[in-house]
Amino acid sequence: MGSLASEIEQLYRARYLSFRNGMVGMTGSYESARDVVQEAFAQALRDQEQYRGEGSLAGWVWRIAIRVALDTRRNGRVQTVDELAAEAAVPDRERDPVLAGALRQLAPRRRLIVFLRYFADLSYAEIAEVCEISEGTVAATLAHARADLLLALETEGAIP
């Protein structure tokens, strides 16, 4: 009786930055990421009776957020998470231009999982739930991504 709405609010207050920073790569800007997150939580409140408890509440809201991002980017082209990953953008390039360049060169799926792990601070289990893959695949993908990034940064002379 109302407790799920409170849990949704608590999730928002505790992990807003995680959601926004995770979505920023999928939307291309902090402003649009914020818009997606706000709308995702609003949908979660409206449709809370549809949450069956089959998985984490955060995972459920993340999937709503990705759906909202898909709607935002759709324009008749983007239909799936993989397609969204292919269009994932790197925000704030001036913050770390070398790293931003290396991120842009990552394979789309790897880039998306890097965003979810290091921008959104999701656990391996949460990423697996959101992307519908195994935790082992998450770990392997991140290992490959880190190796790609390390090589790119070394090539650019950006790390000792």
Partner 1 sequence: MSDTELIEERLRGFPSALDDSDWGDVLRRAAASPLAESNSHTDAPERPHRLLGGTSASGRWRRSRRLALGGIGALAAAGATAALVLVVFAGAGTQNAFAGWTASPTPPASGQTASALSECTSRLVGVAPVAAADWQPLVTDTRGPFTAVILRSGDATATCLTGPSFTTAAVNSTQDGGSQHHLSVSSASGGPPTVSVLAPNGDNSDPINVAAQEQTTVDSQPYTLLQGQTRPGITGVTLVLSDSSRVQATVADSAFVAWWPSHTDASSAQVTDGSGLTTQQLTLTPASPPNPPTPTGQPSSSSP
The least distance separating partner 1 from the CB of residue 67, rounded to whole angstroms, comes to 6
Task: Work out the number of other CB atoms within 10 angstroms of the CB of residue 91.
Answer: 20
| Other Cβ atoms closer than 10 A to 38 | 16
Q: Is 144 in the site for partner 1 (CB under 8 A)?
A: no
Q: Are 20 and 30 in contact (CB under 8 A)?
A: yes
| Residues 97-136, mask of contacts with partner 1 (x by CB under 8 A) | --xx-------------x---xx-x-------xx-x----
Pick the binder of partner 1 from 27, 56, 57, 159 (CB under 8 A): 159
**Can residue 75 be called a binding residue for partner 1 (CB under 8 A)?**
no
Query: Binding to partner 1 by residue 88, rule CB under 8 A?
Result: no
**Coil, helix or strand for 96?**
coil
- Judge whether 150 and 159 are in contact, CB under 8 Å: yes
57 binds partner 1 (CB under 8 A): no
